Amino acid sequence: MNFNSHTDGVVASAVKLVNGLTEGEARGRPFTLPAGDALVPAALEVLKGMSRRTSLTADEAAELTAVARDLRVVFDSVAAGDRDTAAEQLNRLLTETQARPRLESHDGEPWHLHFHGEGGTITADWGASCATGLAVVLGGEMHDRLGVCTAPHCDRVYVDTSRNGTRRFCSTACQNRVKAAAFRSRAKVS
């Protein structure tokens, strides 16, 4: 199941931003972010494969983290069955970033739609792109494909691209943790 190539890319980027730049739990362990200047390498790691940026300021890293927190609200709301809150959050982000469409052709790809924010900052551009991609998903019939991992002690997010739409975990590691715990529980009962 795909939305379209560019939407798939920015939605995957939204997942990567949320999972890499929001605190919580990941795969059964606490997930904390470094503070101050130490946040810069963590943010650059998240941007690998998404952006050509090789440097960020501490302020830009903090702003990206704020965007990730705003995007998390969307996933949490959809997972809780609250599509209205998710839509309101996306509308707020689209307004704040002043997302504007633009057709672009780069890196040998055909023309495709980009949404950048006003001012050209990395946070406005990623906030606008991710908010627009998530809005395309939320505004369509596949809105329930945004999710939060259901494994214990994990709150990482995902987009369900499976054919049957039954994904419940952020990763195979979490799925395996849950299956192993269920096996151990059944073995104790026997």
Write down the pLDDT at residue 92. Answer: 96
> Which phi and psi (to 5°) does residue 105 adopt?
-135, 120
Write down the pLDDT at residue 74. Answer: 98
What is the rounded distance in angstroms from the CA atom of residue 101 to the CA atom of residue 65? Answer: 24
- The three-class DSSP label of residue 97 is helix
Class of domain 5-144: mainly alpha
Write down the pLDDT at residue 182. Answer: 79
Using one digit for the tens of pLDDT, what is the confidence trace for 6-44? 678 889 999 999 999 999 999 999 999 999 899 999 999
> Which phi and psi (to 5°) does residue 133 adopt?
-60, -45
Q: Is the dihedral of CA 25, 28, 34, 39 positive or negative?
A: negative
- Count CB neighbours of 85 within 10 A: 15
- Count CB neighbours of 112 within 10 A: 14
- The three-class DSSP label of residue 112 is strand
What is the rounded distance in angstroms from the CA atom of residue 115 to the CA atom of residue 106? Answer: 14
Q: What is the mean pLDDT of residues 135-156?
A: 93
Domain range list for the chain: 5-144
Per-residue exposure over 120-150, b if at least 16 CB sit within 10 Å of its own CB, e if not: eebbbbbbbbbbbbbbbbbeeebeebbbbbe
What is the rounded distance in angstroms from the CA atom of residue 27 to the CA atom of residue 154? Answer: 5
Say yes or no to pLDDT of 58 above 80: yes
C-alpha 72: how far from its chain's center? 7
- Side chain identity at residue 56, one-letter code: L
